[in-house]
Each structure stands twice: as structure tokens, then as C-alpha cells.
Amino acid sequence: MKTIKLALGAFAVLALSAFTVVQSSDWKLNEQSYSVTFKGGDLEGTFKGLKTAILFDEAVPEKAKISASINVNTINTGNGMKNKHAKGADALNAKQFPEITFVSESVNKKGTSYTALGKLTMRGVTKALSLPFTFTNKGVEGIFSGKLTVNTKEYGITKMHVPEIIEINIVASVTK
């Protein structure tokens, strides 16, 4: 009898802790509702193929883990020739480096916004970068909205007419 009670107790603890882990905010991307846009100089466009892995709890943001990647081949500037040039070897080199990834190492909260410090890998070059973002909690849904400022020269992009500074805006609708 004692053994059964112990087993039931252990099961209850395990079940509750598992439930707590699920509740600790593993946010899944709503693939129909996100946008990744970029702008720099007179160059602007969008990316698709966003993939995310987000562990985030507003109560303990320092424990957050955020990673995101975009598919370089999905770049759309609205002009076919510009798309081709953007994917070229002297620009994003999509053939050799088909993804741009960001992986957070720490997340800080300041007021109502957050900053994820992490590593951005683009064109095979990895650099430390900060990603300021906000999070709108709507219960089981939420919206992450962040902005990356990227210096293209630091990533070896030397192509003419590519602006040195490009801002990448990410708005991602997520669900628990």
C-alpha cells in the first residue's frame, strides 16, 4: 500500500512538474502570421521561411532562450534582378550560406522592453549582436516584435550599392 502511495505521489509530482515546464512558455511561431522586413538606403524587402525556437517567460526573462533563422533564398525586394544580386556570391551568398541565424545568449529586461544579446550568423560570419524586442502577451498568444541593426561590411558583403547599415524588423505572432 505504501509503495502504491509513494508511486502515486511520485507520479503526481512528475506530472505537475511536466505541466509546469509546458507552462514555462515554449512559444511556437504562427507560420501564417509573421513578417521579416529589411530596409537600408533605397534597398528594402522581405524574407520568408522564418523558423524560431522560443523559450520565454516574462517573469524570468533572464532564463529566456531565443533562436531564429530565415531562409536567404526567400528574399524578395520586389525586383527579380535585385533578388538575384542579393543572393549572389558577393552579397548574401545564398548557395553556400542558405540561412541567417540568431541565437540568444542572454536576455535583459529594461522597462517594458527586452534586449536579447546573442550571435548573428550571416554569410558564414558570426558576430555578437543585440536584438531589442517587445513582447505583447495575450494569454496563450503573443507577439514578439524586434529589430536588428546589421553592418553588412562586418559580414563580408562588399557588393556595390549594398547599404552599410541594414535594419531587419521581425514581427512574429506566437502561441503556447
Partner 1 sequence: MTAKRIVLHALISAVLAAIAGVIYKQVYITAFDLHFDSVLNTGGIIGASAFACALMATGYFIGYKWRGEKIFGWLNVVYSLLSFVSILGVLAFQLPMEIDSPELFPGLAIPMHFFPVLSFLVVSPFFKL
Q: Which residues bind partner 1 (CB under 8 A)?
A: 37, 44-46, 76-84
Which CB atom, from 74 or from 115, has the smaller least distance to partner 1? 74
Which CB atom, from 44 or from 90, has the smaller least distance to partner 1? 44
Q: How far is the CB of 80 from partner 1 (least distance, A)?
A: 3
Q: How far is the CB of 101 from partner 1 (least distance, A)?
A: 22
Residue type, 140: V
Q: Tell me how far apart the alpha carbons of residues 155 and 162 are, in angstroms, rounded to a whole number.
A: 12
Q: Tell me how far apart the alpha carbons of residues 121 and 153 are, in angstroms, rounded to a whole number.
A: 13
C-alpha angle 140/141/144, rounded to 5°? 140
Which CB atom, from 87 or from 109, has the smaller least distance to partner 1? 87
What's the grid cell of residue 119? 550571435
Instruction: Give the length of the chain.
Output: 176
Q: How far is the CB of 157 from partner 1 (least distance, A)?
A: 21
